[in-house]
Amino acid sequence: MPIVSELMTEDDLGTADPRCQLVLLLDTSTSMGINRGPNLPLAIDELNRGLQTLHTELGEDPVARRRVELLVVPFGGSVSPLGSWQMARDWVAPTLTAGGGTPMGEAVLTGLRLATERRRQCQADGTLTYRPWVFLLTDGEPTDDVTSVPSAIAEAQEKKRAIFWSVAAKGADVRVLQEFDPTKPALRLDEANWSSLFEWLSASMTQITKAQPDQQVPLDPWLITA
Amino acid sequence: MAHHRLTGDPTASAVADQAAPVPAGAGDVGYYAVAASVIGTAHLNKGTERQDRLLMADVAGDLVICLADGLSTAVYGGLGAETAVREAFTLLSGCGHSGQASSPDDGTHPDRLPLRVLPAAHPAVPVDWSTALRSAITAARSAVLRRGGSPSDFNTTLTVVVVTADAIHVAQVGDGFVVVWDREASDRARVLAHEVVSAEDDPSLVVPLTAPNALASMLTESAPLTETSHVLVSSDGIAPLLLERWVPLVPSVKFLRALIRELDTGKMNHAGLADFLESTLVNSRTDDDKTVVLARHEPLGAAAWTDPSPHPTPADVSCVADNEPFGTERATGLSEALLVPPNHLVTGVLQQPVPDEQSQNADSDAPEFGSHTSQPTPGGSANHGRGALGERAPHGKRLPQAEAPKESHLQAEPDKDVPAPMERQVGWHDMSGAAPGTAFESPSEVATVEVASALSRQLAGAGGSDTAPQPAAGVTEPSGSDPSIPQWPDEELSRSGQRPGDSDQPSEVVASEGGMPLPGCDGEMRPSGLGGRRRREEPDGKLRWLWKWLTRGGR
């Protein structure tokens, strides 16, 4: 006797997967392309490899790949999102190049806005959403005005519109990042941990998408060492 | 209204042995129900157990379903769920009972057969199901709180459903799904008693059964059923497949149609449904536990009763392995229901000794408690479902002690570092020695009395007797939401789970085979309800039962 699973296809199923937005605010300023020493790869190359890792890791989880939505917002000279929101299963890791200043303040405000807008759009469509993640990675210090950033982050987190994370690669101004969000430490990224960072990011998103949308998920604390 | 009883597979030879032929006349309707509960891949990967719990059975012709989903964030979510479904099921299985319950016995494994519910030969007691369901949830909440420790450790949802001949009644705390639709117009599918609770920018907040506002957040709803209605009851594990939209809730018509297609063509049975829920197709969409009950509400005639074609044969469902480990990963269909026949107390949770068969036969209307040896229930744990079947004695007979199944999940101490969940004490619940007028201390017992009192009133109103028993003096029937429910945190509950006066003696899980019949049940009903004749119960006997049940605190 045929069992029911053999007679049903993906087209027979509903499509009410909850969604979790992930905004990647990635520093692509000139400093990311500077040679940091003998036998050390460029930071921008490490970043690109990390994005590939994220793509691979997320793609391997059947649930996360249907629930995580990504948007890459590089900031190097200007702030410009790469394309539109993509489901993890459809997302292709971009290859970024370094150049320009570090408009970090504008990038953070843009990321918070885009995450909030996307979440509201999903909710308007009747889709459940997890709290979006806005994930900032930089190796420098801001070259624009960042005075409004702390309050914007605080408001977004207090109103549960987004969760903000900042990661300081070598050369970053950790003090500034800490001022952005005093509620939790800025994460420090060691030279050898680029790949692990994105593995952790993927694992965190996977973990989140398997929880209730409002549930606080304890994350692997390995990186929270600052 | 037509009423129903569980008679098993119509192809079964035992059908011919039924004491009273089933009068499937015009207007009679019955059910064809399949059910399965499988573990989610997230729990598999973590090495944890399935936390969904399901009890489903025919109760005097009405289909009673109790489904709980232990929250994954709770340390003992599965235990909380198990406690909740058992408590709720115990209460509901005593409602409206006409003494005509039985379980199928066709010589095959009951797990392999769909649940077939057919009109009862005798009218059952009319029941205010809405009140009964609310009371069942109230009592279940109290039972979970009584487990001791931190209530949040046992967080669970609870959905209770009764499908009668012409209506469905639902009550729930949490986020289970009950969908009703018509096979002629499945685009009109409705989700009953469910709302997506939202805080600011935080959708889908789940209020667990143990939360202080659980009873206030309880949702109830009733809806009429037509002769072409279908019913789906599920935990939230299949929500991404079941729904097209969350807000407002919009069921996926294509998914429902696909299920209907398989159910209506007879291609789906318990094992088939479980296989589907475990399939890659489903697991690619959800990693949560998945529990589904699918029932077809259909008119019955002689043809439907005698035509065996829609029903799978045991060979067709051989994928159900009898020797599967006694585990908690998967449970299908009738297994749990049959292990807990509706005419028996679910004593695995109640921790109450039961009379042996001899004493039961000696005084079928008033079995005595407290003086008989308890025995483990073969497969008495709700979560052990299908795995328990391999250890179930044929025809419901007791297993020798040496072959007793593994320790009930309820008995197991999950983690020695954490206070053991409270085992209910015999003395606490055994009210047999209490004189009328003894005040009840347990919120659950008061809630139980509430159900029983409502029953007694309805019994009287149904013409069963002019002398309906009154609740014992000193028992205050709760009014309003439920003042008897302890506040959270309940200071009366010690970390050890002991209440003042509780015995230190641990209780046992006792056999359901010889369990105490519930009010309205025939005291001479054979333990397993398999085949054989059943004595028709007289109204007076029913009331006597009720009174004795009341004086025992509803146990």
The number of residues making up chain B comes to 555
pLDDT above 90 (res B220): yes
Q: Give me the pLDDT at residue A150, please.
A: 97
Nearest to A127 among B246, B248, B262 (CB): B246
B91: three-class secondary structure by DSSP: helix
pLDDT above 50 (res B444): no
The whole-angstrom distance between A64's CA and the closest CA on chain B is 9
- The pLDDT of A203-225, averaged and rounded, is 59
* Radius of gyration from C-alpha coordinates of chain B: 21
C-beta of residue B110 within 8 angstroms of C-beta of residue B8: yes
**Token pair in block for residue B65:** 């379903």
Q: What is the DSSP string of A156-197?
A: HHHTTS-EEEEEE-TT--HHHHHHH-TTSPPEE--GGGHHHH
Q: If pLDDT is split at 50, 70 and 90, which confidence band does B325 have?
A: very low
- The pLDDT of B133-160, averaged and rounded, is 93
Handedness of CA B9, B331, B292, B210 (dihedral sign): positive
pLDDT above 70 (res B85): yes
Using a 10 angstrom Cβ sphere, with 0-12 exposed, 13-18 middle and 19 or more buried, the burial of residue B81 is buried
Higher pLDDT, B450 or A16: A16
Q: Give me the pLDDT at residue B56, please.
A: 85
Would you call B267 and A4 a contact, using CB atoms and an 8 Å cutoff? yes
Q: If pLDDT is split at 50, 70 and 90, which confidence band does A79 have?
A: very high
- The pLDDT of B353-370, averaged and rounded, is 33
Q: pLDDT exceeding 90 applies to what percent of chain A?
A: 54
pLDDT above 90 (res B490): no
pLDDT above 70 (res A46): yes
Q: Give me the pLDDT at residue A213, please.
A: 56
Cα distance between the two ends of chain B: 30
Q: Give me the pLDDT at residue B330, please.
A: 53
A113 CB-side CA count, 13 A: 11
Q: Give me the pLDDT at residue B204, please.
A: 53
pLDDT above 60 (res B450): no
Mean pLDDT is lowest, of A1-5, B241-245, B388-392, B521-525, for B388-392
Residues of B with CB below 8 A from A18's CB?
A: 204, 240, 246
* Mean model confidence pLDDT for chain A: 86
- The pLDDT of A114-138, averaged and rounded, is 91
Residues of B with CB below 8 A from A4's CB?
A: 259, 262, 267-268, 272-273, 275-276
Which range scores top for mean pLDDT: A82-96, B185-199, B410-424? A82-96
Q: Give me the pLDDT at residue A95, please.
A: 96
- The pLDDT of A174-186, averaged and rounded, is 91
C-beta of residue B83 within 8 angstroms of C-beta of residue B153: no
Q: Give me the pLDDT at residue B397, please.
A: 27
- The pLDDT of A110-114, averaged and rounded, is 97
Higher pLDDT, B458 or A151: A151
C-beta of residue B385 within 8 angstroms of C-beta of residue B336: yes
Question: In terms of Cα–Cα distance, which of B126, B208, B209 is closest to B169?
Answer: B126
Q: If pLDDT is split at 50, 70 and 90, which confidence band does B336 have?
A: very low
pLDDT, tens digit (0-9, with 9 covering 90-100), for B247-264: 888 899 889 988 888 877
pLDDT above 50 (res B546): no
The whole-angstrom distance between B290's CA and the closest CA on chain A is 14
Measured between CA atoms, the residue of chain B closest to residue A116 is B201
**Token pair in block for residue B435:** 């004189």
pLDDT above 70 (res A113): yes
pLDDT above 90 (res B390): no
- The pLDDT of B210-229, averaged and rounded, is 91
Residues 58-87 of B with CB under 8 A from A: 72-73
pLDDT, tens digit (0-9, with 9 covering 90-100), for B498-517: 333 333 333 322 222 222 22
pLDDT above 80 (res B543): no
How many residue contacts between A and B have a Cβ separation below 8 Å? 129
Q: If pLDDT is split at 50, 70 and 90, which confidence band does B445 have?
A: very low
- pTM tops 0.80, yes or no: no
B526: three-class secondary structure by DSSP: coil
* Mean model confidence pLDDT for chain B: 56
pLDDT above 80 (res A202): yes
Within 8 A by CB and 6+ apart from B237, the residues are B40, B52, B69, B286, B288, B289, B290, B291
The whole-angstrom distance between B311's CA and the closest CA on chain A is 11
- The pLDDT of B294-322, averaged and rounded, is 40
pLDDT, tens digit (0-9, with 9 covering 90-100), for B3-25: 332 223 333 222 223 333 334 34
pLDDT above 80 (res B100): no
- The pLDDT of A42-51, averaged and rounded, is 92
pLDDT above 80 (res B364): no
User: Domains in chain A and their CATH numbers?
Assistant: 10-209 (3.40.50.410)
pLDDT above 50 (res B90): yes
Q: Give me the pLDDT at residue B137, please.
A: 96
A169: three-class secondary structure by DSSP: coil
Q: Give me the pLDDT at residue A170, please.
A: 84
Residues of A with CB below 8 A from B271's CB?
A: 3
The whole-angstrom distance between B179's CA and the closest CA on chain A is 14
Residues of A with CB below 8 A from B244's CB?
A: 14-16, 126
C-beta of residue B196 within 8 angstroms of C-beta of residue B203: yes
Q: pLDDT exceeding 70 applies to what percent of chain B?
A: 40
Q: Give me the pLDDT at residue B187, please.
A: 66
- The pLDDT of B375-392, averaged and rounded, is 28
Q: If pLDDT is split at 50, 70 and 90, which confidence band does B105 have?
A: very low
Which range scores top for mean pLDDT: B113-127, B271-285, B288-302, B509-523? B271-285
Question: In terms of Cα–Cα distance, which of B233, B228, B117, B123 is closest to B169?
Answer: B233
Q: pLDDT exceeding 90 applies to what percent of chain B?
A: 19
Q: What residues are paired with B171 via a beta bridge?
A: B160, B220
Q: Give me the pLDDT at residue A86, please.
A: 96
Q: How far is it, in rounded angstroms, from Cα A154 to Cα A133?
A: 14
Higher pLDDT, A213 or B13: A213
Which range scores top for mean pLDDT: B30-34, B315-319, B507-511? B30-34
- The pLDDT of B123-136, averaged and rounded, is 81
Measured between CA atoms, the residue of chain A closest to residue B40 is A210
Would you call B285 and A13 a contact, using CB atoms and an 8 Å cutoff? yes
B120: three-class secondary structure by DSSP: coil
Query: Is A178 within 8 Å of chain B by CB?
Result: no
- The pLDDT of B328-356, averaged and rounded, is 33
Buried b (16+ CB within 10 A) or exposed e, B483-505: ebbbebebeebeeebbbeebeee
The whole-angstrom distance between A145's CA and the closest CA on chain B is 29
- The pLDDT of B204-219, averaged and rounded, is 88
Q: Give me the pLDDT at residue B67, please.
A: 95
DSSP assigned state of A176 = H
Q: Give me the pLDDT at residue B171, please.
A: 97
Q: If pLDDT is split at 50, 70 and 90, which confidence band does B232 have?
A: very high
